[in-house]
Structure 1
């Protein structure tokens, strides 16, 4: 009788473990599916309008603003549908999205400072060339906000991408992945989403091979930036942290190393030194400056 009871108990234990494994697998699969779907939905929203106009035409930009805004509105509800109850028990939907007040200013300032340190080389080039002076000209900002291409690149693109790919996707990924794994898996979808630029480049006159090379390069650096952005989001627990970093990076653009040769020799040395110094300081400062306790982040503090 005892043997029968023991066998029944072992069977029940194994069945429970197997059931939990299947449920966990299904939950993980559904989370990954949700993220992949959001990626395709975001990219598809850019192409729902049939037009022969370029992506920089005001009409195209306005239409894409509208369709992307619709995706931004629907994404949190889609995320909430796939969130498990135990995930919401750790923090409500607003906390999961990174929308909270404690540590808000610290997250904004820290994100900008860290990203500025990373761009120490390009910032040195702006200082030496005097181009930084345009930022203190009121008309520069007035004219910029009247330029739809500028608004798209510096505001709408960072806002929509961070909202969908960080705020709405990261909580889903964290349901089945360790934080550090999620930091690198999520940005792959973000990088893949940029492959749609192949069509824009071919429309602009590039052949398929050239367009593919350019898009592969974009995939590489957007994935790396996405990992940095996701790290900021999880460490600070704030949506504004990756958003500020994204806006700053879009404004600076990818460093133009070719311009260094046009500076005098001593200035070239200073610029190259600051490129190395900026990257080194960024590596050393990234972890301590994003300590979750600074931002009262108890949702992902274990990173």
Structure 2
């Protein structure tokens, strides 16, 4: 019997919004519910390289990583429950369905993971001019790799933070919107807003750390607005990658890469290398052109439609297609 609309849309759009906000609250709230994960504000002390109780204190980092891991498991559990209520787990393959819905699979093409480096062609060229790329004269394996990635701060910024955020704000949030019947346009619009809101709480730390002054409030407000706008825009891009590929790998690699590169600083790069101003501008422009021209073809899924890129009415049929015994896990 063909799937009914009730099977295709197991929850309402209102509940999709509520669950998305609930996922945001569980992730961010876990950082403040757990006692050891809360940041303590204190004056700078020359005796400490990292202030005890600050967000970069290894003890705080470990507690926060544990907290967001629990939140991540909780949100995945909610999605599993929704799928269990709308899918016949007795005759189908629940593990295959859940892995596919959460994007735990390799993309059809590795090119989808190279989109972001293309966009950063300008900053990468400036790094080349500075000879700080791997294998160049100013690159140090100890300083630029081990001292960056093999620390609790690096593990938070470049490994576990991006992974848990992508699970919650991409896989889980987008899955509930898909189950709520949202089209890809609405999903790309709604999901990034939740991701942007998840970074507003950093303003509280920026306001308290230097003292609750008027100047601190102004700086924290400006920083919060910029970070929310930037993360919302970035969230729209990574949501697009997830919807196009039905894989968490492309948005995760984009997230890690952007965290490593930071915000592009074309002006600073041209001041540092005045003799290469034109070539730096050309690299930025070329990166944008190549990124725009390859965005659709490099994220295509040859031979089949993406689970999420289909219209809402096809979502359940897509799940059933991936759940056939021949598909495996």
Structure-2 residue corresponding to 1:300: 308
Distance 1:58 1:270, change over 3 A: same
1:169 and 2:173 are equivalent in the alignment: yes
Shift of 1:268: 1.3
Is the aligned partner of 1:92 residue 2:97? yes
Q: Give the structure 1 partner of residue 119 of structure 2.
A: 118
**Secondary structure, in 3 states, of the residue corresponding to 2:310?**
coil
Answer with 185-194 or 199-208: which moved more: 199-208
**Cα distance in structure 1, aligned partners of 2:284 and 2:273:** 16
CA RMSD of aligned residues (A): 2.7
Q: CA offset at residue 111 of structure 1?
A: 3.3
Aligned to 1:280: 289
Q: How does 1:1-303 map to 2 (within 5 A)?
A: 27-48=12-33, 49=35, 50-52=38-40, 53-83=53-83, 85=86, 92-100=97-105, 104=106, 106-107=108-109, 109-133=110-134, 137-139=140-142, 140-175=144-179, 176-205=181-210, 207-293=216-302, 296-302=304-310
Question: Contact 1:165–1:186 at 8 Å: present in 2 too?
Answer: yes
Distance between the aligned counterparts of 1:225 and 1:128, measured in 2? Answer: 27
Q: How many residues align?
A: 278
Would the alpha carbon gap of residues 280 and 51 (structure 1) be closer, same or farther in structure 2, given more than 3 Å must change? closer
Distance in 1 (alpha carbons) for counterparts of 2:114 and 2:104: 21
Q: 1:105 to 1:196 in 2, by over 3 A?
A: same
Larger radius of gyration: 1
C-alpha distance 87-47 of structure 1, shift in aligned 2 (>3 A):
farther
Does the CA-based 8 Å contact 2:243-2:308 persist in structure 1? yes
Contact residue 79 and residue 169 of structure 1 kept, 8 A: no
TM-score using structure 1 length: 0.83
Structure 2 segments unaligned to the other structure (5+ residues): 41-52, 312-329
CA distance in 2, matches of 1:47, 1:256: 33
For 1:172 and 1:87, locate their aligned partners in 2 and report how far apart those are by CA, in whole Å: 18
CA gap 1:35/1:264 in 2 versus in 1, 3 angstroms: closer
- Which has the larger displacement, 150-159 or 84-93? 84-93
1:154–1:250 CA contact under 8 A, matched in 2: yes
Report how far residue 264 of structure 1 moved: 3.8
User: Shift of the alpha carbon at 1:78?
Assistant: 1.1
Runs of 4+ off more than 4 Å: 23-26, 86-91, 134-137
TM-score by length of 2: 0.77
Question: Could you report, residue by residue, the CA deviation over 1:123-142 in whole angstroms, capped at 9, with x for unpaired residues?
Answer: 01100011114786442433
Which segments of 5 or more consecutive residues in structure 1 lack a partner in the other structure? 1-19
Deviations 1:5-32 (Å, cap 9, x if unpaired)? xxxxxxxxxxxxxxx89x9796221121
CA contact (8 A) 2:108 2:302 kept: no
1:56 shift after superposition: 1.1
Larger helix fraction of residues: 1
Residue 5 of structure 1: aligned partner = none
1:169 counterpart SS class: helix
